[in-house]
């Protein structure tokens, strides 16, 4: 059953601020129109609008979109054209119903590769942004049927040739030991043991993890950049790939790499929500999980591993047996949803907090510039 549409229409009201109290509307509205105002910022509490399907923030002065918008998981249409956005939050990948994104006339120079994970995306408008290239993931979306990129200073054939030439002098800087450890833990969904705490819990948080374009393996900080070119509608587009290691160097390499068997860097368990190493072993069931874990580790040994990885796994496994589940720690990760945590909803109407100050400013302004504040 379709929910009844309830709209909050506040177009052209000279708004300069939206109060955090908007969160109290909760699931009451499906359409939010805040276009043609003077908004520079949106409150993170906007993420409380659980039933939001269409959001129109166009023609404002927004510099960011709150990452908590990823909590509005029913969102189908996001209109943000004519603002001052410089980036998009990568948490957008959790908006798995989003079909239309309009980001025209903003200041975005890099599209996050996570855009390619929105499997429902049909229409992406990025006209008149300083975008020069696209994440390769975007072109894997089977649903995408319109990409409007007019007025973007796209890279040319000449730029591509320069990138390829530069490759010859490329020095590959391998990932740090911390990143290597995190990659192994992620790929095997192995628990974090007490002795290997290097702030790995926060490091492994889904918002910190990206995926290798080639093998889908995890990567955190270190990556290898590769370029590809495609022609769409007589326009040359350069696609950027982020690899977890040197999967291929040349176009010929790439094609032959496609025929290789599974890369050793690929995740053993394909889990879209990221690392789930927490709560794997409770004290009661530790024996049986230990057996399961051991067999999966042994099985995975038949794949070709790097020497470093083998050493790390061996050490983890021996420690796992020693600890017998006792020193395994549960990690308070938000892996179930992965979206950004919402701030608590506080009714501040009676308080004299910093928020009231801003409202007052807005009220004073109203007399001079007819500026108003929502609520």
Using the contact rule CB under 5 A, the part of the chain among 192-200, 232-240, 263-271, 359-367 near Zn ion is: 263-271
Minimum distance from CB of 349 to Zn ion (Å)?
Answer: 27
First-to-last alpha carbon distance for the chain, in angstroms, is 32
In the bound complex, what is the minimum distance in angstroms from residue 216's beta carbon to Zn ion? 7
Q: CB nearer to Zn ion: give 94 or 245.
A: 245
Tell me if 10 contacts Zn ion by CB under 5 A. no
The reply to whether 254 sits near Zn ion by the rule CB under 5 A is no
Residue 53 touching Zn ion (CB under 5 A): no
Q: Which is nearer to Zn ion, 71 or 105 (CB)?
A: 105
132 neighbors 152 (Cβ within 8 angstroms):
yes
- At 337, phi and psi to the nearest 5? -105, -35
Q: Of the listed pieces 92-100, 192-200, 244-252, 294-302, which binds Zn ion according to CB under 5 A? A: 244-252
The interface with Zn ion within residues 33-52 (CB under 5 A) comprises: 35-36
At its nearest, how many Å lie between Zn ion and the CB of residue 116? Answer: 15
Of 42-50, 216-224, 227-235, 279-287: span binding Zn ion (CB under 5 A): 216-224
- CA-CA distance, 164 to 156, in Å (whole number)? 13
DSSP, residue by residue, 124-169: EE--SS----EEGGGGG-SS--EEE-TT-----HHHHHHHHHHHTT
Nearer to Zn ion, 101 or 215 (CB): 215
Residue whose CB is less far from Zn ion, 61 or 363: 61
The structure tokens listed for 196 are 């290997």
Q: Which of 244, 281, 328, 335 binds Zn ion (CB under 5 A)?
A: 244
Nearer to Zn ion, 124 or 215 (CB): 215
Number of other CB atoms surrounding residue 221 within 10 Å: 12
Stretch that binds Zn ion, among 199-207, 260-268, 319-327, 348-356 (CB under 5 A): 260-268
Packing angle of the helix pair 307-323, 177-188 (nearest 10 deg) = 70
Q: What is the 3-state secondary structure (H, E, C) of 274-341?
A: CCCCCCCCCCCCHHHHHHHHHHHHHHHHCCCCCHHHHHHHHHHHHHHHHHCCCCECCCCCCCCCCCCC
Query: Does 212 contact Zn ion by CB under 5 A?
Result: yes
| Beta carbons of 24 and 50 less than 8 angstroms apart | no
Binding-site size, Zn ion (CB under 5 A): 9
Binder to Zn ion among 7, 9, 11, 258 (CB under 5 A)?
11
CB atoms within 10 A of CB 81: 22
Q: Is 265 in the site for Zn ion (CB under 5 A)?
A: yes
Could you tell me the smallest distance in angstroms from the CB atom of residue 266 to Zn ion?
7
Distances 259 to 252, 253, 325 between C-alpha atoms, Å: 12, 10, 40
> Which CB sits closer to Zn ion, 53 or 265?
265
Establish if 217 lies at the interface with Zn ion (CB under 5 A).
yes
Q: Which is nearer to Zn ion, 113 or 265 (CB)?
A: 265
CA 280, CA 211: separation in Å to the nearest integer? 23
Binding site for Zn ion (CB under 5 A): 11, 35-36, 212, 214-215, 217, 244, 265
């Amino acid at each position: 059953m379709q929910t009844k549409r309830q709209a909050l229409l506040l177009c052209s009201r000279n708004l300069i601020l939206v109060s955090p109290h908007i969160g109290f509307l909760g699931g009451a509205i499906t359409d939010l129109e805040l276009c043609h105002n003077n908004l520079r910022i949106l409150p993170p509490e906007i993420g409380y609008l659980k039933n939001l399907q269409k959001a129109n923030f166009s023609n404002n002065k927004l510099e960011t979109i709150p990452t908590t918008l990823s909590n509005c998981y029913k969102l189908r249409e996001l209109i943000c054209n004519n603002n001052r956005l410089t980036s998009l939050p990568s948490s957008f990948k959790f908006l798995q119903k989003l079909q239309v994104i309009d980001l025209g006339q903003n200041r975005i120079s890099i599209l996050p590769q996570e855009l390619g994970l929105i499997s429902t995306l049909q229409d992406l408008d990025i006209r008149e942004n300083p975008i020069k290239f696209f994440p390769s993931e975007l072109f894997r979306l089977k649903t995408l049927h319109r990409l409007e990129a007019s007025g973007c200073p796209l890279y040319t054939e000449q730029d591509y040739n320069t990138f390829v030439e530069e490759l010859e002098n490329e020095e590959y800087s391998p990932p740090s030991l911390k990143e290597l450890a995190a990659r192994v833990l992620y790929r095997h969904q192995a628990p974090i043991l007490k002795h290997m705490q290097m702030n790995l819990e926060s490091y492994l948080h889904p918002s910190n993890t990206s995926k290798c374009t080639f093998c889908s393996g995890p990567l955190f900080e270190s990556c290898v950049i590769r370029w590809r070119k495609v022609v769409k509608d007589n326009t040359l587009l350069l696609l950027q790939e982020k690899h977890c290691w040197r999967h291929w160097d040349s176009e010929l390499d790439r094609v032959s790499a496609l025929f290789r068997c599974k890369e050793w860097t690929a995740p053993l368990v394909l889990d879209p929500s990221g690392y789930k190493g927490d709560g794997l072993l409770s004290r009661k069931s530790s024996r049986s999980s230990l057996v399961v874990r051991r067999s999966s580790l042994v099985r995975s040994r038949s794949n070709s591993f790097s020497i470093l990885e083998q050493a790390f796994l061996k050490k983890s496994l021996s420690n796992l047996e020693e600890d017998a589940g006792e020193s395994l720690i549960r990690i308070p990760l938000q892996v179930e949803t992965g979206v950004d945590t919402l701030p608590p909803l506080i009714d501040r109407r009676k308080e004299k907090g910093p928020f009231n100050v801003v409202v007052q400013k807005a009220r004073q302004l109203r007399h001079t510039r007819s500026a108003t504040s929502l609520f």
